[in-house]
Amino acid sequence: MSVDAKQTGIRKKGSKAQPAPKAEDTSEAVSMDEVWIEGGRKLRGSVPVSGSKNATLPILAATLLAPGIYRFTNVPNLKDVSTMLELLSLFGVRSKRDDDHGLFVDSTNARNAEAPYELVKTMRASVYVLGPLLARFGEARVSLPGGCAWGPRPVDLHIKGMQKLGAEVEIEHGYIVARCDKLRGSHISFEISSVGATGNILMAAAVAEGETVIENAACEPEIEALAQFLVSTGVGIDGVGTPRLTIHGARHLHPADAAMIPDRIEAGTFLAAAVITGGDVEATNVEPDHLGAVFGKLEEAGAEVYVGERSVRVRAPDRPQALRVATAPYPGFPTDMQAQFMALLSVAGGTSVITDTIYQDRFTHVAELQRLGADIRVEGNTATVHGVPSLSGAPVMATDLRASAALILAGLVAQKETRVSRIYHLDRGYERIEEKLQGLGAAIRRVRV
Ligand code: EPZ
């Protein structure tokens, strides 16, 4: 019985791969696509960065708060954005993209409904509708997200925050069921900094009666962007961008337009790609202020970093230098750059130590990097990376969004060919990454196997 590539995922020698259509094709087609990379090219040139996925997702959820029409620009064409718009359509929210990253959203006729497990399990950020549904309709039924590739992803802080605002919250058959006739302002102090919980509580507090104070609020630029958007809809918020937010609940909110901030993680990924290949790359349409910690580590790795108004250029050393890095809430080194830096440091001169203080087990990319010849030891939430002179290309499997980016980076420098499968993970958070890397001289292509 002949087993074709579809079943094994591995092509027979010599058979010709078909060029795959664009990522926005049917999800089935995308799930069988792979990215093939011929390593060894130094990346050179300029690459435009798209709008931020993690700012877009909560801002889209916030359109449930005030009925009306919203116009957004610099919205990235990503699977996760499509998933959020699909989720919102279940609540009667209509949307229409234009062909240059513009997006119209109409929540005039939004009605309450359930955020179903089938959708929420594919994207944890779906839980962002909890606060807006509670705020607008007085009740919400949102599936618990379940775990992700690297372990449990609790939402207890979201739930505790809603309860502090006066909501009754039960967990029924895997769903968060929250009810509250009138949300009331409260003093909420998060024991740990949580991007999602801060965003959810911000949106619920936007229409709560009275004042809400959030202590230890997340300061990520994406949450600052959400707060600024809420202010533009009529919410009074003091301390935007700081760990202490004071929200003055508004009786009436109105729609507003917004331009999405640049995606700092996409930018950081391209800068890391420049360094791992020994290249010279300028990322444009970026907000350099959002990348301070990443610039510091790139310089520590031996790169020259030239910061412009809305761009940054990185010139790589012949070989990256080893370093120690620990992730931390913003403005610390982002956990979403941890996997990419592990790929970079796997070819550095010397031994590096990478600690992820945000997620204890965000290391699913380690086993795949080891297949490419990386020498990595993991103990708890710390990885020790002994830099090797070179990696060797092999078939590898993406396990989550940033792990897939790490495998692409490793493939750019590995000898011969690296084939990354399950790249639907990649399409969740990177817009046309293979085309952008081709533009920098990489020998990379998307193929259907
Ligand atoms: C956001 O996820 C990002 N996602 C993640 O980016 C990012 O890794 C993460 O923040 C940390 O920066 C979006 O913005 C859509 P958290 P979120 O709540 O909000 C624990 C990517 O690659 N926690 O800040 O889910 C949690 O387990 C994605 O774009 C609780 O214990 O992260 C983690 O250890 C991956 N209880 C820590 O807090 C809760 O109720 C930080 O998580 C919530 C979180």
- Residue of 50, 52, 53, 54 to test ligand 1 pocket, by largest number of atoms within 8 Å of CB: 54
Ligand 1 atom showing the smallest separation from residue 360 Cα: 34
Instruction: Please tell me the distance between residue 358's alpha carbon and the centre of ligand 1 in angstroms.
Output: 8
The Cα–Cα gap between 91 and 136 comes to 12
Neighbours of 173 (CB within 10 A): 8
Catalytic residue among 32, 90, 148, 307: 148
How confident is the model over 299-352, as pLDDT tens digits? 999 999 999 999 999 999 999 999 999 999 999 999 999 999 999 999 999 999
Ligand 1 atom showing the smallest separation from residue 158 Cα: 40
pLDDT of residue 203: 98
Which value, to the nearest 10 degrees, does the dihedral of the CA atoms of residues 39, 319, 380, 147 take? -40
**Amino acid code (one letter) for 265:** I
Q: Which residues pair with 237 in a beta bridge?
A: 247
Average pLDDT (40-65) is: 98
Average pLDDT (164-193) is: 96
pLDDT of residue 28: 45
Average pLDDT (46-53) is: 98
How confident is the model over 128-156, as pLDDT tens digits? 999 999 999 999 999 998 776 666 678 99
Whether the CB-CB separation of 47 and 421 falls below 8 Å is answered with no
Ligand 1 atom showing the smallest separation from residue 401 Cα: 22
The Cα–Cα gap between 256 and 244 comes to 24
Mean pLDDT, the chain, integer: 93
The Cα–Cα gap between 324 and 14 comes to 43
CA dihedral sign, ordered 221, 224, 228, 234? positive
Nearest CA among 157, 36, 109 for reference residue 434: 36
Instruction: Please tell me the distance between residue 206's alpha carbon and the centre of ligand 1 in angstroms.
Output: 21
Tokens of 116: 């179903």
Instruction: Please tell me the distance between residue 68's alpha carbon and the centre of ligand 1 in angstroms.
Output: 30
Instruction: Please tell me the distance between residue 367's alpha carbon and the centre of ligand 1 in angstroms.
Output: 23
Does the pLDDT of residue 29 top 80, yes or no?
Answer: no
**pTM of the full predicted structure?**
0.93
Which residue CA neighbors atom 42 of ligand 1 most closely? 194
Confidence of residue 27 (pLDDT cuts 50, 70, 90): very low
Tokens of 377: 């030891």
- Residue of 122, 158, 176, 194 to test ligand 1 pocket, by largest number of atoms within 8 Å of CB: 194
Residues having CB closer than 6 A to ligand 1 are 53-54, 57, 124-125, 153-158, 192, 194-197, 218, 222, 335-336, 358-359, 401-402, 429
Does the pLDDT of residue 110 top 80, yes or no?
Answer: yes
Can you say how many angstroms the Cα of residue 230 is from the centroid of all Cα atoms in its chain?
A: 21
Confidence of residue 18 (pLDDT cuts 50, 70, 90): low
DSSP per position, 226-284: HHHHHHHTT-EEESTTSSEEEEE--S------EEPPB-HHHHHHHHHHHHHTT-EEEEE
DSSP per position, 101-130: S-EEEE-TT----EE-HHHHTT-GGGGGGH
How confident is the model over 79-102, as pLDDT tens digits? 999 999 999 999 999 999 998 999
How confident is the model over 220-264, as pLDDT tens digits? 999 999 999 999 999 999 999 999 999 999 989 999 999 999 999
Which residue CA neighbors atom 9 of ligand 1 most closely? 195
pLDDT of residue 23: 47
Is residue 148 flagged as an active site residue? yes
Whether the CB-CB separation of 249 and 209 falls below 8 Å is answered with yes
Instruction: Please tell me the distance between residue 124's alpha carbon and the centre of ligand 1 in angstroms.
Output: 9
Whether the CB-CB separation of 200 and 212 falls below 8 Å is answered with no
Parse the chain into domains and list their residue ranges: 51-259, 264-448
Ligand 1 atom showing the smallest separation from residue 57 Cα: 15
Instruction: Please tell me the distance between residue 196's alpha carbon and the centre of ligand 1 in angstroms.
Output: 6
pLDDT of residue 251: 87
Question: Any idea which fold 264-448 has?
Answer: UDP-n-acetylglucosamine1-carboxyvinyl-transferase; Chain (3.65.10)
pLDDT of residue 21: 53
Average pLDDT (424-430) is: 95
Does the pLDDT of residue 13 top 70, yes or no?
Answer: no
Average pLDDT (383-392) is: 98
**Terminal alpha carbon distance of the chain:** 19
Which residue CA neighbors atom 21 of ligand 1 most closely? 336
Does the pLDDT of residue 367 top 90, yes or no?
Answer: yes
Whether the CB-CB separation of 310 and 377 falls below 8 Å is answered with no
Same fold, 51-259 and 264-448: yes
Average pLDDT (176-182) is: 95
The Cα–Cα gap between 75 and 323 comes to 35
Instruction: Please tell me the distance between residue 322's alpha carbon and the centre of ligand 1 in angstroms.
Output: 27
Nearest CA among 369, 336, 376 for reference residue 353: 376
CATH code for the structural domain at 51-259: 3.65.10.10
Q: Which residues pair with 46 in a beta bridge?
A: 282
Ligand 1 atom showing the smallest separation from residue 160 Cα: 40
Greater confidence (295 vs 28) lies with 295
